[in-house]
Structure formats: C-alpha cells, structure tokens
A = this chain, B = another copy of it.
Amino acid sequence: MSNACDAYATKLRIFSGSSHPDLAREIADYLGCPLCPSYTTRFSNDNLFVQLGESVRGKEVVIIQSFVPPVSDHLLELLMMIDAARSASAHTIHAVIPYFSYARSDKKDQPRISITARLIADLIATAGANHVMTMTLHSPQVHGFFSVPTDHLTSQPAFVNHFRTRDLSNTVIVAPDIGHAKRAARLARSLGVGVAAGDKERLSDEHVHISGIIGDISGKDVIVFDDEIATGGSVMGLIEVLRQQKARKITLACTHGVFSGQCITRFREMGDLIEEIVTTNTVPIPPEKRLPNMTVLSAAPIFGEAIRRNVTGQSVGSLFAYWPDKEGNA
C-alpha cells in the first residue's frame, strides 16, 4: 500500500513504549518512517523514568503502547511519554493503544467499584493526549468514555479475509456469551453463515459456567469468536459443551490473544480438538506461545493506514469496506 513517508515525514514522530516494540516497528515500516528512540529506566525506588530521544517540537507524535502485563507499568509509561511530548511542545499527540485491557471494566456491576475504563480514558486526557486510536474494545460503548477524539478500529476485515478462503458451507459462528454476541453475529453475516451463543454465567474472574448453547450447533463446524482470550477458561468450558452437543470441528478466533496463565498449556493439551487458533498481534505473542495450529494476523496495516489518514487529513471512515454494525461492535 503506502511505501514511503513522503509529505508527512517531516512532521511525524513515532515512539514505542516498552510493551510491544515489534508491532510499533511494523507500523513504522508500513508508514515508511523510522521508529524514534526513547529510553525507559527504573530508579532504585521503583520510580519509572522516561525520555524521548528526538525533538518533537511542533510535530505529530505517535506513541504506541499495548496494555499487556505489567499493565500498570505500561499505563504509567504511556502517561509519562505523553506528558513528556506535551511538555516538549508537540503539535499533536496520538496515543495508539492496540489492546486497551481496561475496556472490560466498563460498568458498575457491584457497589463501590471503579468504572476503570473511564478513569483510564480520563487519565490519558489529563496527561495530554489529543487523539486516541484503539481496536475492538470489549463493548462499543467504551468509545464514549474518551473525551478526546478516538478512532475505534476493527480487526473484523482481517478475520473475514482469513476465513473467506475456507469451505464455510457447514459453519456456524458461536459467541461464548449471549451478552456479547453481536460481533459474532456480524462476522456470521459477513461470511454468510449462522450464529449461536453460549449462556454464560460468570462466577469469578477465572471461573464461568456455560449452562448451554442457545442455537443449534450439532454436526457443525464451529468458529468460536470473542474479543479477547485470557486464561481461556470460558473457551474451555464452551468447547466442552460444544463437544457434548456434537460440534464437528472447532476453531477459536479472537482479536486480543492475551493467553495468560495456563491458557497455552491447555490449548496444547487439547491438540487436534482445536482446528485452528486465529488471533492478531495487538498483544505480543512470543515464540513459545506460538502453537503449530495458531495463526497470527497483523494489525499493523490497519493502525498504519489509520495514522497515515489522520496525519494527512483523510477519511478514516472510508478506510474500511464496511462499518461497525448498528450495535457499534468494531
């Protein structure tokens, strides 16, 4: 697509936080720009220290940071990089957050808790970001938590492209949770296949109970589709139920492959029971987590193109062939 940082090269400065330098480099490559150096160290009292390695005065600054463990450090590092750029007279500061983990803390379902996704959005604005780019938030409403203009990008086209090459005649998309089934329904429509959903009850962070499948999946090739897989607990329970109900082949697909705790071990143990695991690189996936049946789609072209259009004042909306559905699920 784009191959040179021509007209906007003079004003663009791309920095990477510590969380995911590979993705940052890929995005910079897409834009044909170098990644600017920055230095993050830790004082002996555990304070972080951050320095941007290149002048940003009057520049369009892009800072790329994914909220992967250690999340609190990566969040604070991002805030400090934004603050440093702001105080060094950057023209505009774009915070690119491929995986905004706190999007899951988006509601007050118990007394006296924090809607932390809103809190984090406010902190990012306080630090001085003028614009945010992120992908596939847990619920589309989280978009509204940001007070600065925000591009909520979708990984859907990448998945559509990936699955389109398969024989889908006997396929059904399954959402693990009936409460978040819209993205699955939308993917199903894009691929021209059916949809079903698990009736999930969350008992705790790691334990959920799938009491059944709403919809018919017997004898079907199933693609389980979710925004994020962490420990894989929900997915394991769902696979169990799918197998009881005679699903034929099972594929897992998710935008954010967190794969924490025993997740990869469990996936490895299931062996052939999982046809394929498809995810993107919004979260870094080290070699030791890359199972033979895993496909990692790159989110870099989507972020790169969105950045390019922002800096050159072109439509981001028209970037994608189609828009989020009526429910806003990206």
* Residues of A near any B CB (own CB < 8 A): 11, 41, 43-59, 68-73, 75-76, 79-81, 83-89, 91, 101-102, 104-119, 122-123, 126-127, 131, 139-145, 149-152, 178-179, 181-182, 185, 189, 195-197, 199, 201-202, 205-206, 214-215, 228, 230-231, 233, 258, 260-261, 309-310, 312-318, 323-328
21 interchain pairs (CB within 8 A)? Answer: A11-B313, A45-B260, A51-B113, A55-B111, A55-B314, A55-B318, A57-B310, A57-B313, A72-B72, A79-B123, A87-B114, A87-B115, A88-B111, A106-B141, A109-B324, A111-B315, A111-B316, A117-B144, A139-B139, A178-B197, A179-B185
Neighbouring B residues of A140 by C-beta, 8 Å: 106-109
Main secondary structure of the interface of A (DSSP, over half): mixed
Question: How many Å from the CB of A126 to the closest CB on chain B?
Answer: 4
Known: A70-B72, A181-B181. 8 other contacts (CB 8 A): A84-B112, A84-B114, A89-B149, A107-B144, A109-B328, A139-B139, A144-B144, A215-B215
Neighbouring B residues of A80 by C-beta, 8 Å: 114, 116, 119
Copy number in the complex reads 6
